Structure formats: C-alpha cells, structure tokens
C-alpha cells in the first residue's frame, strides 16, 4: 500500500494507528449502556468508508471489519504469524497450489446460523463477481476457474471445493506461497448470503458477521457503536462490552478529549509529540512499533543525471539518515535497504550507504555533475515532510547540489511519479500488504510495474530473472535467500535513497490494557480490555454531546 | 505656516524601519552563522537560547538569530516592493476614478468593490497556488490584493480636491486632465498617500508572513519569519522560543511601519 512518508504527522502512522485512535463522550456510553459496562471510547476524524469486507480496502474499514467478521486465518496480535480463526487446522501441498482447511463447527453468524464452508465459498465468489466491484478480486483470480466464474461462464469457481460443511479446499492455477496471507485479508471474511442478498449494496450498514463484536448502530458522520457478540466462539472473548467510536473528531480535538479523559486511546498530534515524550506520566502510556514501511527518496533512473548509478549512489552517501530520524524525534529506524525490519527476508547485515559526504562528492565529480546542479524533489505539502525535505536540502548543499522542494498534494504527486520522465526525485513510502518480500521487491522494482508502482522506472535483467524465480518458490529459506540476493542487487543499483522505517505511536489511558500494534494491520480491538481498578474516567457532559 | 518637527511616532517608527533596512542590507556581515546550515546538533530537539545562540537553534540545528536577520530581507523586499506596486496601482485607479467620474469611476470602483468583498488572504492563497510560490509571484499577489483600500481613499480625497477653487481655476485656465491630476491634485493628496504607504507596508508584511505561515511563501531554504513560526508549531509546548522570536520580529516590523504611518498622520493633522 502506498504510504505518504510522514514520520511525525498523521500519515505513515495511519497504518496501524490513525484508526485505533478514537474518542467519544464519557457520559454517553453510560447512557447507552449500564454504568459498569466496559466500553472502549474511541474517536475518528473521518467516517468509516464501509463495513462490507468485500468493499473495504483501507485501515479504518479494516479496523472494524476485522472484529465484525472472521476469516479462516488471522494474524497474531503483534506479529505476522498466522493463527487459526474459522479454521482449526490446514494443510498446504508442497507445490503451494492446494490448500485444505478444516473449519470449526461452533462459529455462528450473529443471526444465529452456523458458519459453513459454503459461506466462505460464497464470500470469496462474491469478491470475484465483477458486480461487487471489489478491489480484492486480484488476490483470488489465481484460483482455478476464477476467471470463468467472474465472466459468468460457471456457477462456481472450480478452485474452491466444499466436500462437507466444515472442510474447504482451494486449488490455484500456479503456485502461490503467500496465498495463506491473502486468506487473512478481510476480503476473504465469511458473510451470510441471506443477509447480503437482502440488503445488497446496503450490506455495509447492516453488516452481520461472526466476529467478536456486532454492529449496533452506525450514524453517518456521528458515531459507530459495536457491541459484544455474546455467542462468539471463543469463551470469555471479547472482554469489552462495547466500542463507541465518535466520528468527525480531528486529531487535535482527539488529543484534547484524551487529556480530559473522554477517550481511551488516541493518536498523538505532531504538535504534542515532543511534549508527550518529555512528560514521564504521558510517555509511559505510549505504545509504539516499527511499521512494515520504508520511506525513501526515489530517483528516476531514466532521467539524467540519475540514469548514472554513481549519481544515485552519491545521493545515498550524501543524505544523513540519522539526522532524519533525530528530526522525527526517534520515530524512525534508519533504512539500509528496501525491506523493513520484521519483514521475512529482512537482512540485518545489509550494509547500505553510511553517511559519507566526501565519497558523495567524489562520485558526483566522477559522474560529471557540476556544482550548482539543482534538481527538484516532489513531496507532499505536509509540515513534517517539508522539514525532512529541508534536512535533505542541507545535506545535498554540502556536496554542491542545490535541491529545490516542490510540495504538492498527495493525488497529484502519485499521478506525476507515474509519468515516465516527469519527476526526477520524489519522497514516498511503501507499506507492506503481506509479510513477504515480493510485496516490496517485485511490486516496486519490476519492469511490469513501470507506470504503476515502480516509480523510479528501475529495471535490471538479472533482477527480473531472479524475481521470476523467487515468486514460485514455496520453501521459505530458499525463497528468502533469493529475495535477499535481489535486494542486494537493488541496493547496489540504488534507485532509492533508503531513508527510514517509520515508528508508529499511540497513547492509551492508564486503564486501557491489551493494545498491541500490528506491523501490517490496524490493532485488533477485541484484544483490548479495561482495568477495573483505575477508573478516573471523565463524566462531564458538554454542549457538543449528541443524544441517542 | 509653522512646520512641525518629527514627532515621537515618526522617530520610533523611522528608527525601526531603518534598523530593518540595515539588517537586510548587511545580513551576511551581521548574522553570526549561515542561516540554512546546521550549526548545532539539535536535530528534532531545538536548543534553548544561550550565549552562543541568543535565540536558540531550531529542529534542523540552524541558528534562529541568523535566520531572523536574513528573514528581514524577504520581509522587507516583499513588504516594500508590494507596497510600491500596490500604491502605484491604487493611486492611479483612485485618481482616475475621482477625477473623471462617470463611467471611469463606475468601472474602476466596481472592480475595487468586488476585490474588497473577497478576503485578501484567501484571494492571495488562490493566486499563489496558481502561480507557484516564488519571490516575484508572492510580491505580485500581495500587491494585487492590497491596492483596493488605497484606491478608495485616494478617490475620496481626489473628489474633494477636484471641486476646490484652485483646481477649478487651473481648469479654467485650460490645464489638461493630466496636468491637473499631477500638478494640482497629487501634491495635495500626497500626505494621505504617504500615510497609506506606511500603513500598507505593515499590511503587506503581515500578508507575507501569513502566506509563509500557510506554506505559500518564498520557498525554503530562504529564511522567512512566517515560515519560521509555522515550522515551530510542533515545538510550541517544548521550545516556545522558536515561535516567539520570529513572532516578535513580525511584531517589530509591523509596529515600526504602523508607528511611522500614524506619525505621518499626526503631522498632517497638526500642520
């Protein structure tokens, strides 16, 4: 997923955080729920785009979808390891083409009906159906017969078999070692056919799943209320009785509400971050993790002088990445290659490019770049990015390059970098969709992605060959070794200045427990619980209150 | 007629304006450090004011004092040039409208009215967004939104002058419209124009700071006071001096030109 590389500001954190961050009126749950109910109060800046798992493809939607619905597999709360959800066990064929799942029999939709293998088949076929217009369709097209089904030539996708109500088998037309991860995306969540057909496009407003929570109320632009699913298949879960997310509360307002004790978890606005970190009482309440994201300065390999590898390497030596991380108040880890830490295939021994302006000057000289060279870097017009841009500007001035900053909006930036010869330099970020190196190395550096995600227009025959080899290797050690080899080649060719991996922060109230930030996904709300002993929760009503 | 000596408003305002001009002209000699490069390792953690860095250092390790001194350049160039352009356009429009009346006045004043209905900052933001920020575009945009007030005042003054006996006499002697405006009306409205010039300089300075604050000012690395305030927002609670000093600089400059303007105004009233 394409990331705006803000370090401090809202953006990069959005992946895991922005949506965890929430807030709502303290007395309001008390009115909706009994006084002793365990209600998690959140606030969101913007309305949730959708709660239909076939439609949502953003962190806000996923945050709530993943507690309303179940998939066969889910991630552990704070790692990329897959855990059973609707599945009890599974087998994968050695060639990574056949996947057999044995499902639990005690899962029920909140309308009372058991979740069966037919529901899962229906749910995935619904994503494949062009009428659903799901962005998840790309992940399931490798299923045998998926194209025929999508074209209306078959009643079912041949590649999904349901020999009995609690067994489901997937067959692919070619090996896909990361297919399990695709089944952990909300796109593959089980939805009840009868409810979907009853509401059609309005299913999002009447979402019924089998997850730990169920949708109680969704008032557009006002609030989203989820309540505990009393029949959830894991006894004792969830520990919360309800989640109330107030909508339309911007980051600054969230912070004020957090300080007033009116919300339980909040993001930290950039303007407050240094204050929080210098205030011990607040600092201990923060939670952070390194995101599976790499922020970088892209260099267009087809535009002179960046077509010369020496110039690209010189830029890598010239930029002081430690300084960038310091400017972000430590909210970043210096990047030495493409893959973020925690990603399978991450190579802790990769050398990267240490800060060495003298070497940078020599390389520029060898490449014939004269003092006064003034390339333009495109970046988002965001205060943090502008500061980082100025830091890079300072560094490059020391090697005789007069960098110009061109701040633009996010949309135009993405459009511009996709043009072959429009943008020499740009600051962007990339966050993983799956914990697999292919999701970085192939998506961002293969020639097939020119004009899509390979915005540096990098291409190398050896890299192409290895990418093709690696993509079908299922055995992890061999697969990751190949990807590490590919990464080495790419780092040597330096189409990016590898900058940093952002570190995301949220802050919780002292009584909030069990929050785990996930490297790829929004934090799971069903793992959160409230400590009963600490309860100085704000109760003052205010004029901004909304009555149910 | 006894001419009043300089009053205290003029003296203080003049001294402030002069000090700014000196700072701007001799910035490289006065500033202790390079305003764009890091001189202290205070990355992400701005350094407080100290003997070595009297106004502290910012999150990029730059010396705030040096940036303030260089910032006077942008502020003065933009403030004074935009004022000059705005005065030229405003005086010309106001004079023509007041002197000719009729359709000329109708057209010019309606244009002025339309411009006045739009908030200056908003209009300036729109123009800068179209033109892309640079010293020249900022200057033109600020002039463009600043001339209207001048035009209205000059028109009112011209109207009252144009019916005075000395103008009617000159007209009766066959003086051309141009001569009447330049030789007879202009000198008599000049004191008003000078007051307006001083006051509108503070207006253009503020508008420039406002645009910079919104990220639409002169692009980095050129130091500008408005951008310095904007960039220090993140540190408002932990390093308030970062915003305080550029804020003070803006106050100082605006106050200076306002005092000068009111000084001129008082001189006019006491003459």
**What's the domain range around A153?**
70-197
Same domain for A312 and A449? Answer: yes
Chain A contact set for B243 (CB, 8 A): none
Chain A contact set for B231 (CB, 8 A): 383, 386-387
- The CA angle B227-A505-A352, to the nearest 5 degrees, is 80
B231·A383 Cβ contact <8 A: yes
Among chain A residues, CA nearest to B39? A394
The answer to whether residue A130 is domain-embedded is: yes
Per-residue pLDDT, B271: 52
Q: Which of B94-103, B141-150, B239-248 has the highest mean pLDDT?
A: B239-248
In the predicted model, is pLDDT for residue B124 greater than 80?
Answer: yes
DSSP string over A392-454: HHHHHHTTTB--EEEEE-HHHHHHHHTSTTT-SEEEEEEE-SSSSTHHHHHHHHSGGGBTTTB
How large is the average pLDDT for residues B229-252? 87
CA distances from A465 to A213, A482, A491 (A): 47, 11, 17
Per-residue pLDDT, B131: 81
Which helix (H) or strand (E) is A286 found in, with range?
strand A286-290
Q: Tell me, what DSSP letter sits at residue A172?
A: B
Same domain for A323 and A471? Answer: yes
Same domain for A351 and A427? Answer: yes
Q: Which residues of chain A have pLDDT under 70?
A: 1-31, 533-548
The answer to whether residue A6 is domain-embedded is: no
Per-residue pLDDT, A23: 36
Q: Is residue A359 a contact partner of residue A317, using CB atoms and an 8 Å limit?
A: yes
Same domain for A346 and A478? Answer: yes
The structural domain count of chain A equals 3
Same domain for A190 and A75? Answer: yes
What is the per-residue pLDDT across A195-250, written as a single tens digit (0 to 9) for each? 999 998 899 999 999 999 999 999 988 999 999 999 999 988 899 999 999 998 88
Count of residues for chain B? 271
Q: Tell me, what DSSP letter sits at residue A131?
A: G
Per-residue pLDDT, A221: 87
Say which range, A161-165, A377-381, B89-93, B95-99, has the weakest mean pLDDT: B95-99
Per-residue pLDDT, A545: 38
Q: Is residue A53 a contact partner of residue A69, using CB atoms and an 8 Å limit?
A: yes
Count of residues for chain A? 548
* Nearest of B194, B202, B204, B201 to residue B264 by alpha carbon: B194
Same domain for A125 and A220? Answer: no
Which helix (H) or strand (E) is A155 found in, with range?
none
Token couple for A294: 């790499």
Same domain for A321 and A464? Answer: yes
Say which range, A116-120, B149-153, B214-218, has the weakest mean pLDDT: B214-218
Of B38, B230, B238, nearest to A383 by CB-CB distance is B230
The answer to whether residue A7 is domain-embedded is: no
Same domain for A183 and A110? Answer: yes
Here the contacts of A439-444 (C-beta below 8 Å, separation 24 or greater) are A439/A178, A440/A294, A440/A338, A440/A339, A440/A343, A441/A338, A441/A339, A441/A467, A441/A483, A441/A486, A441/A487, A441/A490, A442/A467, A442/A471, A444/A338
Per-residue pLDDT, B48: 86
Q: Which residue has the tokens 């925690």?
A: A342
The answer to whether residue A4 is domain-embedded is: no
Same domain for A239 and A349? Answer: no
Q: How far apart are CA B91 and CA A109, in angstroms?
A: 77
Q: What residues does each domain of chain B span? A: 64-270
How large is the average pLDDT for residues B104-114? 87
B28 touches chain A (CB under 8 A): no
Query: Backbone phi, then psi, for B99, in 5-degree steps?
Result: -80, -45
Of A330, A390, A407, nearest to B221 by CB-CB distance is A390
Query: Mutation test of the interface with chain B: which of A251, A269, A271, choosing the one with the most B Cβ atoms within 10 A?
Result: A271
pTM metric for this prediction: 0.79
Same domain for A339 and A487? Answer: yes
Residues 57-76 of B with CB under 8 A from A: 59-60
B37 touches chain A (CB under 8 A): yes
B219·A405 Cβ contact <8 A: yes
Q: How far apart are CA A487 and CA B12, in angstroms?
A: 66
Residues 6+ positions from B43 with CB-CB distance below 8 Å: A323, A326, A327, A391, B59, B60, B61
Q: How far apart are CA A192 and CA A194, in angstroms?
A: 6
Of B43, B235, B239, nearest to A323 by CB-CB distance is B43
B234·A270 Cβ contact <8 A: yes
A393·B43 Cβ contact <8 A: no
Give me the half-sphere count of Cα atoms (radius 13 Å) on the Cβ side of residue B90. Answer: 31
Same domain for A269 and A319? Answer: no
Of B59, B215, B230, nearest to A327 by CB-CB distance is B59
Task: Please tell me the distance in Å from A323's CA to the nearest CA on chain B.
Answer: 6
- The CA angle A315-A320-A326, to the nearest 5 degrees, is 150
Per-residue pLDDT, A360: 94
Task: Please tell me the distance in Å from B132's CA to the nearest CA on chain A.
Answer: 9
Per-residue pLDDT, B3: 60
**In whole angstroms, what separates CA B158 from the centre of its chain?**
24
Chain B contact set for A390 (CB, 8 A): 60, 220-221
Q: Is residue A186 a contact partner of residue A53, using CB atoms and an 8 Å limit?
A: yes
B45·A271 Cβ contact <8 A: no
Of A274, A327, A330, nearest to B60 by CB-CB distance is A327
A interface toward B at CB cutoff 8 Å?
Answer: 8, 270-275, 278, 323, 326-330, 381, 383-384, 386-387, 389-391, 393-394, 397-398, 404-405, 407
How many beta-carbon contacts under 8 Å exist across A and B?
Answer: 66
| Beta strands A73-75 and A82-84, pairing class | antiparallel
A383·B237 Cβ contact <8 A: no
Per-residue pLDDT, A1: 66
The answer to whether residue A136 is domain-embedded is: yes
The answer to whether residue A205 is domain-embedded is: no
**CATH of residue A254:** 3.40.190.10
If one counts every other C-beta atom within 10 angstroms of the C-beta of residue A78, the result is: 15
Task: Please tell me the distance in Å from A147's CA to the nearest CA on chain B.
Answer: 47
**DSSP SS3 for A498:** strand
Same domain for A448 and A335? Answer: yes
Per-residue pLDDT, A119: 95
Q: Is residue A171 a contact partner of residue A97, using CB atoms and an 8 Å limit?
A: yes
Per-residue pLDDT, A19: 34
Q: Which of A135-139, A255-259, B111-115, B173-177 has the highest mean pLDDT?
A: A255-259
Per-residue pLDDT, B47: 84
ipTM more than 0.90?
Answer: no
Exposure string of A32-61, with b = 16+ CB inside 10 Å and e = fewer, is bbeeeebbbbbbbbebbebbbbbbbbbbbb
Q: Is residue A115 a contact partner of residue A209, using CB atoms and an 8 Å limit?
A: no
How large is the average pLDDT for residues B96-104? 84
Taking domain B64-270, whether its CATH number is 3.30.70.270 is answered by no
* Nearest of B64, B69, B58, B57 to residue B30 by alpha carbon: B69
């Amino acid at each position: 997923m394409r990331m705006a590389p803000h370090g401090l500001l809202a953006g990069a954190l959005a992946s895991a955080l922005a949506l965890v961050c929430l807030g709502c009126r303290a007395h309001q749950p008390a009115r909706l729920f009994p006084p002793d109910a365990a209600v998690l109060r959140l606030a969101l800046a913007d309305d949730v785009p959708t709660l239909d798992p076939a439609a949502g493809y953003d962190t806000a939607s996923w945050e709530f979808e993943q507690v309303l619905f179940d998939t066969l597999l889910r991630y552990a709360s704070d790692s990329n390891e897959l855990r059973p959800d609707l599945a009890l066990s599974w087998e994968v064929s050695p060639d990574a083409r056949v996947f057999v799942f044995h499902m639990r029999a005690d899962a029920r939709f909140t309308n009372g009906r058991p979740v069966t293998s037919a529901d899962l088949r229906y749910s995935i076929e619904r994503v494949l159906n062009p009428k659903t217009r799901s962005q998840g369709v790309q992940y399931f097209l490798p299923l045998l017969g998926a194209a025929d089904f999508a074209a209306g030539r078959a009643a079912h996708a041949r590649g999904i078999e349901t020999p009995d109500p609690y067994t489901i088998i997937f067959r692919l037309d070619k090996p896909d070692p990361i297919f399990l991860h695709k089944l952990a995306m909300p796109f593959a969540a089980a939805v009840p056919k009868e409810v979907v057909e009853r509401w059609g496009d309005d299913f999002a407003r009447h979402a019924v799943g089998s997850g730990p929570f169920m949708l109680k109320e969704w008032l557009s632009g006002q609030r989203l209320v989820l309540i505990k699913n009393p029949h959830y298949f894991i006894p004792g879960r969830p520990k919360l009785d309800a989640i109330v997310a107030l909508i339309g509360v911007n980051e600054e307002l969230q912070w004020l509400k957090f300080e007033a004790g009116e919300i339980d978890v909040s993001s930290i606005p950039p303007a407050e971050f240094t204050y929080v970190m210098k205030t011990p009482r607040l600092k201990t309440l923060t939670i952070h993790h390194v995101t599976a994201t790499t922020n970088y300065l892209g260099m267009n390999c087809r535009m002179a002088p960046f077509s010369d590898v020496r110039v690209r390497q010189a830029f890598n030596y010239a930029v002081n990445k430690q300084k960038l991380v310091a400017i972000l108040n430590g909210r970043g880890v210096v990047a030495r290659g493409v893959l973020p830490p925690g990603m399978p295939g991450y190579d802790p021994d990769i050398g990267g490019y240490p800060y060495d302006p003298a070497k940078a000057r020599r390389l520029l000289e060898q490449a014939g770049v004269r003092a006064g060279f003034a390339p333009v870097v495109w970046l988002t017009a965001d205060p943090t990015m502008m500061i980082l841009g100025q830091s890079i500007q300072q560094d490059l001035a020391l090697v005789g390059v007069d960098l110009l900053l061109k701040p633009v909006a996010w949309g135009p930036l993405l459009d511009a970098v996709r043009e072959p010869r429009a943008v020499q330099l740009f600051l962007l970020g990339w966050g993983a969709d799956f914990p697999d190196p292919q999701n970085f190395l192939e998506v961002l550096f293969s020639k097939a992605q020119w004009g899509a995600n390979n915005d540096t227009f990098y291409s190398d025959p050896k890299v192409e060959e290895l990418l093709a080899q690696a993509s079908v290797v299922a055995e992890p050690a061999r697969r990751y070794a190949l990807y590490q080899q590919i990464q080495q080649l790419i780092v040597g060719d330096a189409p990016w200045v590898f900058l940093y991996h952002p570190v995301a922060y949220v802050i919780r109230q002292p009584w909030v427990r069990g929050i785990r930030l996930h490297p790829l996904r929004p934090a799971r709300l069903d793992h959160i619980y409230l400590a009963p002993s600490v309860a100085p929760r704000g109760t003052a009503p205010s004029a901004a209150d909304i009555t149910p | 007629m006894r001419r009043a000596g300089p009053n205290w408003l003029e003296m203080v305002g003049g001294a402030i304006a002069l000090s700014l001009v000196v700072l701007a002209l001799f910035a490289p000699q006065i500033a202790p450090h390079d305003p764009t490069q890091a001189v202290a390792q205070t990355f992400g953690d701005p350094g407080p004011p100290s003997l070595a860095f009297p106004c502290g250092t910012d999150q990029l390790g730059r010396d705030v004092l040096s940036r303030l001194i260089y910032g006077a350049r942008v502020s003065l160039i933009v403030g004074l040039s935009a004022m000059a352009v705005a005065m030229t356009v405003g005086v010309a429009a106001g004079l023509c409208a007041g002197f000719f009346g009729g359709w000329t006045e109708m057209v010019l004043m309606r244009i002025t009215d339309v411009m006045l209905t739009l908030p200056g900052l908003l209009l300036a933001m729109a123009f800068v967004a179209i033109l892309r920020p640079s010293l020249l575009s900022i200057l033109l945009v600020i002039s463009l939104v600043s001339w209207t007030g001048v035009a209205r005042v000059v028109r009112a003054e011209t109207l009252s002058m144009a019916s005075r006996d000395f103008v009617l006499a000159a007209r009766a002697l066959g003086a051309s419209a141009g001569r009447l405006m330049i030789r007879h009306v202009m000198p008599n409205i000049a004191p008003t124009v000078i007051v307006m010039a001083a006051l509108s300089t503070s207006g253009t300075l503020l508008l420039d700071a406002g645009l910079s604050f919104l990220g639409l000012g002169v692009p980095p690395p050129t130091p500008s006071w408005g951008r310095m305030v904007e960039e220090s927002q993140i540190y408002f609670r932990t390093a308030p001096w970062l915003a305080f000093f550029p804020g003070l600089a803006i106050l100082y400059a605006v106050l200076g030109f306002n005092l000068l303007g009111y000084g001129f105004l008082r001189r006019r009233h006491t003459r």
